[in-house]
């Protein structure tokens, strides 16, 4: 009976690997990942007591650096909470952008304001394609996240009709029929229209 295949193997990391571990960590990975990537490039090796001991100092330095980075990111998140930044873009008369606002654009905008936010931390499901106000989440780690507002403005004055248009959170136009009628505004009914259009009945005389 053939031996059951091993689903994971244990390796010792010689350097930091994002979403896996830091130098000196002993981790379990899939055999193919180790065989095709980690081991050939010297990023990891088979763990031994001697090598684990040799990497203790490097691991302590890596942990200290991670704490420093986490502290800096926490300060950024605290500063970003409910922040609003404005991006000016070219668009047509209906407010549709020539191009779009992407994660990179938002990252660049935040960096210009002094906040070191990589585009990978910008959680934007789809590029922004219309003028408007959009909530966007900035997240470094699971517990380090903040919501900001991206205000996309046209680089010129739009028509009065365009300015009165309403868009949903996805940037799609809300049709007039879907908008809520102002409170207190009477609605015409077929019965009222019928009464207004009816002519008074003539008097009848008995013979």
pLDDT tens track for 35-82 = 999 999 999 999 999 999 999 999 999 999 999 999 999 999 999 988
Max CA separation in the chain (angstroms): 127
Q: What is the pLDDT of residues 92-135, one digit of tens each?
A: 988 999 999 999 999 999 999 999 999 999 999 899 999 999 99
Comparing 190 with 109, the larger pLDDT belongs to 109
Q: What is the pLDDT of residue 170?
A: 52
Domain(s) labelled CATH 3.10.430.100 in the chain stretch across: 77-177
- Of all residues in the chain, the percent with pLDDT exceeding 70 is 73
Comparing 22 with 173, the larger pLDDT belongs to 22
Q: What is the pLDDT of residue 105?
A: 95
- Of all residues in the chain, the percent with pLDDT exceeding 90 is 67
Q: What is the pLDDT of residue 47?
A: 95
Domain(s) labelled CATH 3.40.5.10 in the chain stretch across: 9-54
Q: What is the pLDDT of residue 158?
A: 77
Specify the pTM.
0.65
**Does the domain spanning 9-54 belong to CATH 3.40.50.800?**
no
Q: Is the pLDDT of residue 167 over 60?
A: no
Q: Is the pLDDT of residue 152 over 80?
A: yes
Banded model confidence at residue 156, pLDDT cuts 50, 70, 90: confident
Banded model confidence at residue 206, pLDDT cuts 50, 70, 90: very low
Q: What is the pLDDT of residue 205?
A: 46
- Contact present, 25 and 45 (Cβ < 8 Å): no
The DSSP result for 20-85, as a single string, is: TB-TT-EEEE-HHHIIIIITTTTSEE---HHHHHHTHHHHHHHHHHHHHHHHHHHHHHHHHTT-EE
Comparing 175 with 169, the larger pLDDT belongs to 175
- Which CATH superfamily is 77-177 part of? Ribosomal protein L9, C-terminal domain (3.10.430.100)
Separation CA 93–CA 173 (nearest Å): 13
Extract the tokens encoding 171. 């940037």
């Amino acid at each position: 009976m053939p031996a059951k295949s091993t689903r994971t193997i244990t390796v010792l990391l010689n350097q930091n690997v994002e979403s896996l571990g830091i130098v000196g960590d002993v981790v379990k990975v899939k055999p193919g990942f180790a065989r095709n990537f980690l081991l050939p490039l010297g990023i990891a090796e088979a763990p031994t007591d001697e090598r684990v001991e040799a990497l203790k100092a490097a691991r302590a330095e890596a942990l200290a650096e991670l704490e420093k980075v986490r502290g800096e990111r926490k300060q950024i998140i605290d500063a970003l909470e409910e922040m609003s930044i404005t991006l000016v873009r070219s668009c047509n008369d209906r407010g549709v952008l020539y191009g779009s606002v992407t994660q990179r654009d938002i990252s660049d905008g935040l960096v210009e304001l002094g906040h070191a936010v990589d585009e990978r931390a910008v959680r934007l499901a789809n590029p922004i394609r219309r003028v408007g106000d959009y909530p966007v989440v900035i997240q470094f780690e699971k517990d380090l996240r903040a919501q900001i507002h991206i205000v996309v403005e046209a680089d010129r004055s739009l028509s009065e009709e365009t300015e009165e248009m309403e868009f949903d959170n996805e940037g799609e136009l809300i049709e007039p029929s879907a908008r809520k009628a102002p409170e207190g505004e009477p609605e015409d009914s077929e019965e009222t229209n019928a009464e207004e259009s009816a002519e008074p009945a003539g008097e009848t005389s008995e013979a």
